[in-house]
Amino acid sequence: MSNKVFVGLLAVLIVGGIGFFAIIQKSKPKEPVIGVKHASLGGTHIARGQSHPAYNSDPPSSGWHYSDSGAPTPWGVYTRQVQDEVFLHNEEHGGILITYNPALLPTDQLKKLQALFAPPYADATFSPSKAIVTPRPKDIHAIELAAWTYTLNLDSYNQATLEKFYLQHVGQSPEPTAGPTNTPINEAARR
């Protein structure tokens, strides 16, 4: 067999293999995006305490938020409530918000939630770097999640769903590479 024929056959096999791989990838069904999609209200920065129109989701998933020395806030697990207008700046930077109602979430599930999102992470294969966990007593579900233009409500702790929502939505925002760049805090560990 001549070199030209060999090179030609090799080229056909390579192109055919690439085409076959592309067809297989396109035929795989995409995993459905979890959460409820909301229209974007933009990302207007407002002064602390300034009034603004109502949000179109609860917790907020876009809209008016603070932009000062306290917003965005460091990523991490909080035992005190983080204001909507503060955490929205973190969402604009590609982060995920996980709120919980302390009256609806049993203590054992709260500990699991905190351990999942704070170092040292409870799941060695999951180390979320852009998340805020905060109590929010007005929540009507035990756990409520928000990302830029998406929300999801849970009536109990579900690790697989929490991880899936985080992985699908982290970085999906107007400013995904913006800060804060500090090490995640864990207020719950200080207690």
Structure confidence by residue, pLDDT tens digits, 125-161? 998 989 999 999 999 999 999 999 999 999 999 999 9
Q: Both tokens of residue 9?
A: 């056959």
**Distance between CA atoms of residues 18 and 2, nearest Å:** 25
Nearest to 173 by CA among 146, 153, 139: 146
Query: In the block, which residue shows the tokens 């930077």?
Result: 93
pLDDT at 63: 93
pLDDT at 8: 64
pLDDT at 109: 97
pLDDT at 67: 86
pLDDT at 162: 96
- For the chain, which residues score pLDDT lower than 70? 1-2, 5-8, 10-13, 15-29, 175-191
Q: What are phi and psi of 30, to 5 degrees?
A: -75, 145
Q: Both tokens of residue 33?
A: 């995006």
pLDDT at 114: 94
Q: Which distant-in-sequence residues (6+ apart) come within 8 Å of 95 by Cβ?
A: 72, 75, 87, 130, 131, 132, 147, 170, 173
Q: Both tokens of residue 170?
A: 């982290």
- Do residues 72 and 179 touch, judged by C-beta distance below 8 A? yes
- Do residues 146 and 110 touch, judged by C-beta distance below 8 A? no
Peptide bond into 180 cis (omega under 30): yes
Q: Using only C-alpha atoms, what is the Rg of the chain? A: 22
pLDDT at 185: 61
